Amino acid sequence: MLNLGLDGSVSSILCLGAHCDDIEIGCGGTLLKLLDAGDDVRVDWVVFSSEGERAAEARAGAEAFLSGAAAANVRIEAFRGRYFPFVGTEIKEYFDALGADLEPDLVFTHLGDDLHQDHRLLSELTYNTFRDQLVLEYEIPKWDGDLARLNTYVHLDDRQTERKIETLTRIYSSQADKHWFSSETFRATLRLRGVECKSPSGYAEAFRCRKLVLA
Ligand SMILES: [Zn+2]
């Protein structure tokens, strides 16, 4: 197995999430690792749907995960949750503006075959918009049972793992009564992905990468 290092190779990152907590659950540990590795990383972070109390949580979540970034631009938008395919024109226009504005090295987005319609639309628009970027699709464990076979792994050390789990459960207190939102769910997902890639700590995040150019 050839391990390709992340240190120093990424200076700008775009994180796209349909709802608050998606980005943190999907790639929070990898972001902590990337920001640990590079001292000059800029992050743009967009949550497309979040309102009221959840918007405040989304801001706090972004802040906690981006404390190591040299610069961070967090946008919390208010597109109608669960209806993304039906307000697709506005969301597509939003992507057009993002594409005109940003040229990230790396984009994190939802899995293309995620069973949540909002997640799926964002993934599709990501590829429409960012055509010269490395795109990594992240997973969200949920009731639908759509965990997939993935192909790209990021080892997390114990500190990154614990920080991800602790931050998620501390900041998103409004989700505490959801049957799936628990430290056990997050730890179990990280542990299973760690098994698949023999992570030294036992923990990893996994992604799907559709296209990778080795120069
Ligand atoms: Zn979501």
Q: Quick check: is 5 in a domain?
A: no
| 3 within domain boundaries | no
C-alpha pair distances (Å), 203 with each of 128, 132, 158, 206, 211: 32, 30, 8, 10, 24
Please give the tally of structural domains in the chain.
1
> Is position 4 within any domain?
no
CB 123 within 8 A of CB 112: yes
**What are 157-193's pLDDT values in tens digits?**
999 999 999 999 999 988 889 999 999 999 999 999 9
Q: What confidence tier does 119 reach under pLDDT thresholds 50, 70, 90? A: very high
User: How far is ligand 1, taken at its centre, from the CA of residue 117, in Å?
Assistant: 9
- Report the separation in Å between the CA atom of 47 and the middle of ligand 1, taken as the mean of its atom positions: 9
pLDDT at residue 206 is higher than 80: yes
Name residues whose C-beta falls within 8 Å of residue 63's C-beta, 6 or more positions apart in sequence.
74
Distance 43 CA to ligand 1 centre (A): 20
Confidence grade of residue 23 (pLDDT, cut at 50, 70, 90) = very high
Whether residue 17 has pLDDT greater than 90: yes
DSSP string, 100-154: HH---SEEEEE-TT-SSHHHHHHHHHHHHH-SSSEEEEE----TT-------EEE
Read off the CATH number of the domain in which 126 is found.
Answer: 3.40.50.10320
In a domain, 59, yes or no: yes
CA of 17 to the centre of ligand 1 (A): 7
Domain of residue 192 covers 12-208
